[in-house]
Amino acid sequence: MSSAELDLLVLGSGVAGLSAAVRAADTHKMRVGVLTKGELPQATTRWAQGGVAAVLGGDPDSTDLHLADTLKAGAGLCDAEAVRVLVDEGPARVNDLITLGAIFDRDARGELELAREGGHTLARIVHAGGSATGAEVERALVDAVQLTMAVIYEHAFALELIVEAGRCRGISARFPDGSVREVRAANVLVTTGGAGQLYSVTTNPLEATGDGIAMALRAGVAVADIEFMQFHPTALSVDSMPRPLLTEALRGHGALLRDTNGERFVDELQPRDVVSRAETWRMQALGTDHVFLDATGLEQFDQRFPNIAAELAKAGLDPAKDWLPVAPAAHYTCGGIVTDLQGSSSLPGLWAAGEVSCSGVHGANRLASNSLLEGMVFGPRAVEAIEAGVSGPEATGAMRTVLGMDPDRPDVVPAGVIGGRFVHLEPIPVDHGLLPEDAGKARTILQRELTEHAGVLRDAIRLDAAAAVVDATLRAQRGDSVPDHELRNLATVARAVVDAAIRRQESRGAHTRDDFPDTDATFVHRIVYV
Ligand code: SIN
């Protein structure tokens, strides 16, 4: 190892990345770098509202119940081992955050307040500032990492992985002065979040452009479950990018969904794929672009949900009197870089945690408030594995699909393993000039296309149309001498999303095909890009 080489380079600065960086730099005294394309606190984590699902109360809740709820939401594609790790280690990681200084909401007796959200049989969501949990988690972790010796690279855009002798040795990145330089590290942990910006209607911030997933796809690192883009049922239906989120906890506290005739049409506490579908069908039937969230029955709305009350006031809405127009919006990328239970990707030296990863905990649809939890559990696990000298992937968690199977014999599935269909996408030939030169315009076209044709409801005709626009975007990008990095990444991820959605000829979890409305037992497998 050269003296300039880091022990660990973390890409991204959300809950997974910063939990890992603090553990590595503080507990294990590793030489750590944290590289982010924005500023340190500018991660999607900051936008998370509802909270962290973790069994911190006593009876009648249990980690077995949390596990059962997670598996049910995941619609047959969760890895039970990975979920077991998530629910068992989650409570300790929440306590670690409290030790670091994160302040969660407590009742008059000083006990953590627990909220309920869709898909959870019991109230088990810890939260901060009412529904500003992500902001508090991010604040505590940014403060903590700044007290360590970690080197922080801000406004630096990771471009490609450096792969030497079958191992990841760092990345190349574009720095604020315009130079492209290598950052070399014995281990790279990707925690760059999801790709909600694939859609024009999304709750995700502008930075959520799938950068880590795209980099992995270009390097041939295994990516799976990418067709499962989760739509949140209650984004405020206003013309903004992103759309303001109205936390699921509102429904947990009793807010109701009504169609534009005022009628209820779904059990509000079903998992969010069920609710988003029901809304979309109802909107189609009534020819509207929204339904309503009726929170008029909630007491002390302003005190309990101050950040949402402020957002509503900006839109001229008073939750005590007005029904709130809502519609589904792209919210969470359930799939990503395949990892084992330690966070190792298929490329030795490359690790992934949080939304960018496919550890097996979400399957076809993530359970509410399991996302911050996944980041805080699996980020530090990767650090512990590196510290223990683990050098490559093992056949555990979602990685069992990749290592536990013969890619040429997808019909032979070992017991306990979720099978895989292995896909190699051929490169797209250069043929630039098909889309507007202006990358911003091309991004808008791509986002509208995916929203219209690869959204909550999909079918072969719509997906083929989306595939044509994605391919044209990639061709135009590849012709540019200086590509727009985010647009190139979005189009790279979009290609896999649309391709997998075409291949998955069934409806399961967050993926609904109008032309294949049933869940099909022959599709209990991951679609893996290698
Ligand atoms: C919400 O508060 O509804 C979002 C939380 C999550 O995405 O799990």
Which CATH number characterizes residue 416's domain? 1.20.58.100
Query: What is the 8-class DSSP label of residue 503?
Result: H
Answering whether pTM is above 0.95, one says yes
Among 305, 328, 351, residue at a domain's last position = 328
- E strand spans, 166-271: 167-174, 180-184, 188-190, 223-224, 229-236, 256-258
Buried/exposed code over 91-102 (b: 16+ C-beta within 10 A; e: otherwise): bebbebbeebeb
What is the rounded distance in angstroms from the CA atom of residue 433 to the CA atom of residue 440? 15
**Ligand 1 atom closest to Cα of 117?**
3
139 part of a folded domain:
yes
397 part of a folded domain:
no
| CA torsion through residues 406, 411, 414, 417, sign | positive
Do 354 and 311 fall within a single domain? no
**Nearest-CA residue for atom 4 of ligand 1:** 50
pLDDT at 482: 60
Q: For the chain, how far is it from start to end, CA to CA, in angstroms? A: 29
Does ligand 1 come within 6 angstroms of the Cβ of 200?
no
Do 213 and 238 fall within a single domain? no
CA of 133 from ligand 1 middle (Å) equals: 10
- What tokens does 234 get? 């209650």
402 part of a folded domain:
no
Domain that holds residue 424: 409-529
Does ligand 1 come within 6 angstroms of the Cβ of 368?
yes
Do 377 and 485 fall within a single domain? no
Tokens 């339904």, residue located: 291
What is the rounded distance in angstroms from the CA atom of residue 266 to the CA atom of residue 282? 10
Does ligand 1 come within 6 angstroms of the Cβ of 49?
yes
207 part of a folded domain:
yes
Among 328, 362, 381, residue at a domain's last position = 328
Using only C-alpha atoms, the chain has a radius of gyration, in whole angstroms, of 22
Among 297, 328, 359, residue at a domain's last position = 328
Q: Are 169 and 184 in contact (CB under 8 A)?
A: yes
Does ligand 1 come within 6 angstroms of the Cβ of 246?
no
Does ligand 1 come within 6 angstroms of the Cβ of 233?
no
Which CATH number characterizes residue 20's domain? 3.50.50.60
**Nearest-CA residue for atom 2 of ligand 1:** 50
What 3-state DSSP class applies to 488? helix
Domain count, the chain: 3
Q: Are 423 and 217 in contact (CB under 8 A)?
A: no
Do 49 and 168 fall within a single domain? yes
CA of 22 from ligand 1 middle (Å) equals: 25
The pick from 245, 272, 305, 355 for probing ligand 1's pocket by mutation, whose C-beta has the most ligand atoms within 8 angstroms, reads: 245
Catalytic residue check, 272: yes
Helix spans in 23-79 (H): 63-73
What 3-state DSSP class applies to 516? strand
Does ligand 1 come within 6 angstroms of the Cβ of 353?
no
401 part of a folded domain:
no
404 part of a folded domain:
no
- What tokens does 504 get? 């998955």
Q: Are 115 and 253 in contact (CB under 8 A)?
A: yes
Burial tier of 252 (Cβ tally within 10 Å: 0-12, 13-18, 19+): buried
Do 288 and 367 fall within a single domain? no
**Ligand 1 atom closest to Cα of 50?**
2
Q: Are 77 and 273 in contact (CB under 8 A)?
A: no
- What tokens does 287 get? 């020819």
Tokens 């005709």, residue located: 461
Tokens 């190349």, residue located: 172
pLDDT at 428: 79
Do 369 and 432 fall within a single domain? no
| CA torsion through residues 339, 345, 346, 348, sign | negative
185 part of a folded domain:
yes
Do 439 and 352 fall within a single domain? no
Do 187 and 297 fall within a single domain? no
Do 207 and 247 fall within a single domain? no
Do 28 and 175 fall within a single domain? yes
pLDDT at 481: 59
Q: 214, 210, 201: which is closest to 242 by C-alpha? A: 201
pLDDT at 230: 97
396 part of a folded domain:
no
- E strand spans, 357-490: 357-358, 419-423, 457-458
Which CATH number characterizes residue 265's domain? 3.90.700.10
pLDDT at 436: 54
Do 323 and 344 fall within a single domain? no
Does ligand 1 come within 6 angstroms of the Cβ of 489?
no
Q: Pick the catalytic residue: 184, 272, 304, 400? A: 272
What is the rounded distance in angstroms from the CA atom of residue 91 to the CA atom of residue 448? 40
Per-residue pLDDT of the chain (530 residues; tens, 9 = 90+): 444 699 999 999 999 999 999 999 999 999 999 999 999 999 999 999 989 999 998 889 999 999 999 999 999 999 999 999 999 999 999 999 999 999 999 999 999 999 999 999 999 999 999 999 999 999 999 999 999 999 999 999 999 999 999 999 999 999 999 999 999 999 999 999 999 999 999 999 999 999 999 999 999 999 999 999 999 999 999 999 999 999 999 999 999 999 999 999 999 999 999 999 999 999 999 999 999 999 999 999 999 999 999 999 999 999 999 999 999 999 999 999 999 999 999 999 999 999 999 999 999 999 999 999 999 999 999 999 999 999 999 999 999 999 988 888 988 999 889 999 999 998 877 655 545 567 788 899 999 999 999 999 999 999 999 999 999 888 886 666 567 899 999 999 999 999 999 999 999 999 999 999 999 999 999 999 99
Phi, psi of 163 (to 5 degrees): -120, 120
- E strand spans, 47-108: 52-53
pLDDT at 17: 98
The one-letter code for the residue type at 294 is D
CA of 416 from ligand 1 middle (Å) equals: 30
The DSSP secondary structure of 162-192, one letter per residue, reads EEETTEEEEEEEE-TTS-EEEEEBS-EEE--
Do 87 and 210 fall within a single domain? yes
